[in-house]
Structure 1
Amino acid sequence: MSEANITAELRNEFGKGASRRIRRDGKIPAVIYGHGEDPIHVTLPGHQTTMALRHMGTNAVLELAIDGKSQLALTKAIQVDPLKRLIEHIDFVAVRKGEKVHVDVPVHTTGDAAKETLVVLENATVQVEAEATHIPEGIEVDIEGAEAGTQILAGALTLPKGVSLLSDPELLVVHVTAAQTAAQAEAELAEAEAEAGIEHDAPQAEAEEAAAEE
C-alpha cells in the first residue's frame, strides 16, 4: 500500500470549541497514538487528507511531516459528520517501516456463481498480520461457477506474500446457497405473519363486510 505525504501542524488547543475552529478553517483535528509515547495532537489539511483517504481506502497509511520529522500513521478510526459527510476527526496509530500490524481487511468476491444461487458474504472482513506499509487493500475470493452449498472458509483464502491470517481458519467467509423461489418466499412470509399473530381476511369476507357497511 502506498503512503500519502501530508504536512501536519502540532496543536495545543483541545475541546469542542477548538475542534470547531479547526474545521471552520478547512482542516481536520487528529491524534496519533502508539509505541508507548504520549498521544500527538495534530491538525491536517482537510482537502488533501480527505482525497488521500478516499484514494487509499481502508487501513490507509499516511506519511505525516510533523515539526520537521516524518511519522508513518495507520488510520484506525474516522469520525464523519452524518449530514455534511465531512471528516470531523481521525485517530491514527504510529507505525514504522517493517513493523507488523494487526488489521481487518475487507473481502471481495469476483466472478459469478452458478445460476439460481445466492452468494452470502458471511464475514465481510478477516483479520491479518502484515507490514504496516504493505497492508492489502482487500482480499479477493473467486466464486466463478460455484454451486449451491459451496462454503469458503478463512483458511482457504489466498493471501498476498508476507501476509498472515489471524482470524480462525474455520471462519465462514462466503456461503453459496440455492436462490429462494417466489413460492418459498411467500411461504416464509406467511409463517412469519402467523407467528406474529397477523391474520388476513379472505377476499369474500372482505367483500361481505364492505357490503354490510354500505
Structure 2
Amino acid sequence: MAIYKVDAKLRDDVGKGASRRLRREGRVPVVLYGAGRDPRNLTLNHNKVLRLIEDEGFFSSIIEFSADGGAKQKVVLKDMQRHPAKPVVMHMDFMRVDDNQELVMNIPIHFLNADKCPAGKVAGIVIDYQMHEIEITCLPKDLPESFDIDLAEFEVGDSVMLSDIKMPEGVKAMAFVRTEDEDYDEVIVNTATVMDTSDDEDVEEPDVDVPTVDEDESGEDADSDEEKDSE
C-alpha cells in the first residue's frame, strides 16, 4: 500500500472570513480530530492537495500527517468538500487513527476484465454496477486498499453479491455488522436488459389545422391597401 505524507500548517484564525482569505492564498482549511484529543485547525497547500486526490488510494489509506514539522501522526481522510463549479477543494476533515481501535472506511471496488466477459458481448445486455465501494470496519493494520472482482467469466444472468466477497482477515462488511437478518445480502454487480425501441410503430402526429389565406381574399386585401396608399 502506498504511503501518503501530508504536511500541514497550524492556524489560529477561524470562521468564514478567515477561510476565504486562506483559499485566496492557495491554502485549504483543515480540521484534525479524534483519538481522544482536542481538534486542531490547520491548513494544507491547495496544489499539493489536488495532486494527492488524483490517486484513488488517498481516500482509503492511512496517511502520515504532520503539522509545522511536528511529530508524525497516522490519520485518515473522513470528509472533503469541493466547490460545486470549480476545481477547488473547500475544506477537509482528517481523523487521527488509534492502532487499537477499529476504523469504518469505504474501500473502492475494481472490476477486472469487464470488457472481455461473455455478458458484455451480448447485444441488448449491459453490466449493471450497483456498488462501487464497500463500507468496512477493521483495525488500521488490516485496512485493505481495494477489492478486486474478476468478471472474465461473467455471463448473462450472473450476479456478484456482497457475501461473495472474501474479506481479508480482521475485515468485516458494515452491511452485515448492522443487520440481524442472517439472509440479508446486497447485489454488487449483475446484468440488465436494455429496452430496444427501434421496432416500435411510428407515432402518428396529431392533425393540426393550419390556417390558409384565400388567393382572392389576399388580392382584395392587397388592392385595398393600395387604395389607402393612393389616398
Q: TM-score, normalised on structure 2? A: 0.73
Which residue among 133, 138, 144 is the counterpart of 2:146?
138
Please identify the structure whose Cα radius of gyration is greater: 2
Task: Indicate the SS of the match to 1:63.
Answer: strand
Which piece of structure 1 moves more, 58-67 or 14-23? Answer: 58-67
Report which of the two has the higher share of strand: 1
The corresponding residue for 1:213 is: 211
Sort the Cα spacing of 1:31 and 1:113 in 2 relative to 1 into closer, same or farther, 3 A.
Answer: farther
How far apart, CA to CA, are the structure 2 residues paired with 1:28 and 1:133?
29
Given that 2:4 and 2:58 are in contact with CA atoms closer than 8 Å, whether structure 1 keeps it comes out as: no
1:63 deviates by 1.3
Aligned ranges for residues 29-40 of structure 1 at < 5 Å? 29-40=29-40
CA separation of 1:134 and 1:84: change in aligned 2, threshold 3 A = farther
What's the CA shift for 1:92? 1.0
Most deviating of 82-91 and 3-12: 3-12
Alpha-carbon distance in 2 for matches of 1:29, 1:150: 46
Query: Residue 137 of structure 1: CA displacement?
Result: 3.6
Q: Deviations over 1:126-153 (max 9, x none)?
A: 2112343653343222222322221211
What is the distance in 2 between the residues matched to 1:60 and 1:86? Answer: 22
Secondary structure of 1:128's match? strand
Give the 3-state SS of the residue equivalent to 2:108 in structure 1: strand
Paired position in structure 1 for 2:188: 173
Partner of 2:67: 66
Identity of aligned residues (%): 24
Who is 1:81 aligned against?
83
Give the ranges of 4+ consecutive aligned residues of structure 1 lying more than 4 Å apart after TM superposition: none
DSSP-derived class of the 1:213 partner: coil
Q: Could you tell me how far 1:9 is from its partner in structure 2?
A: 1.4
Q: Distance in 2 between matches of 1:134 and 1:27?
A: 33
Taking the TM superposition and a 5 Å limit, the aligned residue runs for 1:1-214 are 1-55=1-55, 56-67=57-68, 68-97=70-99, 99-111=101-113, 112-114=117-119, 115-116=122-123, 117-132=125-140, 135-160=143-168, 162-168=170-176, 170-182=185-197, 202-203=204-205, 205-206=206-207, 209-210=208-209, 212-214=210-212
Contact map agreement 2:107 2:147 (CA 8 A) in 1: yes
In structure 2, the gaps of 5 or more residues are 177-183, 213-231
Give the RMSD, CA atoms, in angstroms.
Answer: 2.7
Report SS of the residue matched to 2:90.
Answer: strand
**Contact 2:142–2:169 under 8 Å retained in 1:** no
Say if 1:162 and 1:54 are closer, same or farther in 2 by CA, change over 3 A. Answer: farther
Amino acid at match of 1:177: A
**Distance in 1 of aligned mates of 2:162 and 2:149:** 10
Kept in 2, the 8 Å contact 1:123–1:172? The answer is yes
Aligned-partner residue type, residue 170 of structure 1:
D
SS at match of 1:73: strand
Pair 27,133 (structure 1): closer, same or farther in 2 beyond 3 Å: farther
Helix, strand or coil for the counterpart of 2:72?
strand
Change (3 A) 1:75 1:157: same
Q: Which amino acid is the alignment partner of residue 139 of structure 1? A: F
Alpha-carbon distance in 2 for matches of 1:49, 1:164: 30
Aligned CA distance change for structure 1 residues 3 and 12 (closer, same or farther; 3 Å): same
8 Å contact 2:31–2:92 — kept in the other structure?
yes
Distance 1:40 1:179 in 2: 51
